[in-house]
Structure 1
């Protein structure tokens, strides 16, 4: 028996005209990205105290600092000087020669000098 369009694994009638619309492609890629979203680790009290200490030290001594923070699809880093800390709204502003970043305390993963 020769294959036809109803034979499992064969789609001869439409084989040469397979395509995907750009809108559908973007939707498929977005669904794939969502499954790979970064899950923020839970920091213990010692890690939080160390982050707090290094941020205050950097602010008081006007030193550069590197902050690793959570982005949607993974961790990211930003280096610069801390410009402002708002403890009530729980965010800080850090800037360097190129850019400024306002960052929520909840997104901070790690701080280095």
Structure 2
């Protein structure tokens, strides 16, 4: 008869995974997969910058999709200022509601 202590015998029989633990593990893995920011090619970056510039020049409404590790945000408003050294834009949603958004965080833009 083989000893339970040899060859990791004690722990071989205790490898039980509860369904709740398995589900929590799978949820955590799906969240970790989602944390990555999508890489944009030069053409997409140029299109985003053109849409931002058009909104700034023509004072027309634009919808920006901003990267967020948990869920991407869609923000609609008018670009009123572009800060080139810091690479940020000022998006005004209503008369007194605005936010500064980094251009690197924008993953899509539409007029």
Q: TM-score, normalised by structure 1?
A: 0.66
Alignment of 1:26-105 (within 5 A): 32=28, 35=32, 38-97=35-94, 99-105=97-103
Deviation at 1:74, TM superposition (A): 2.2
1:36 and 1:74, CA in 2 relative to 1: closer, same or farther beyond 3 A? farther
Q: CA deviation at 1:67?
A: 0.2
Tell me by how many angstroms 1:96 deviates.
Answer: 1.1
**What is the TM-score when the length of structure 2 is the normalising length?**
0.67
- How many residues align? The count is 87
RMSD, aligned CA: 2.6
How far off is 1:99 after superposition? Answer: 2.9
Please list every run of 5 or more consecutive structure 2 residues that lacks an aligned counterpart in the other structure. 1-13, 15-23
SS in 2 for 1:71: coil
Q: d(CA) in 1 for partners of 2:97 and 2:69?
A: 20
Alignment partners' CA distance in 2, 1:36 and 1:96: 32
Question: For residues 48-84 of structure 1, what are the alpha-carbon distances to aligned partners after superposition, in whole Å with 9 as ceiling and x for unaligned?
Answer: 1101111111110000000001013121110001121
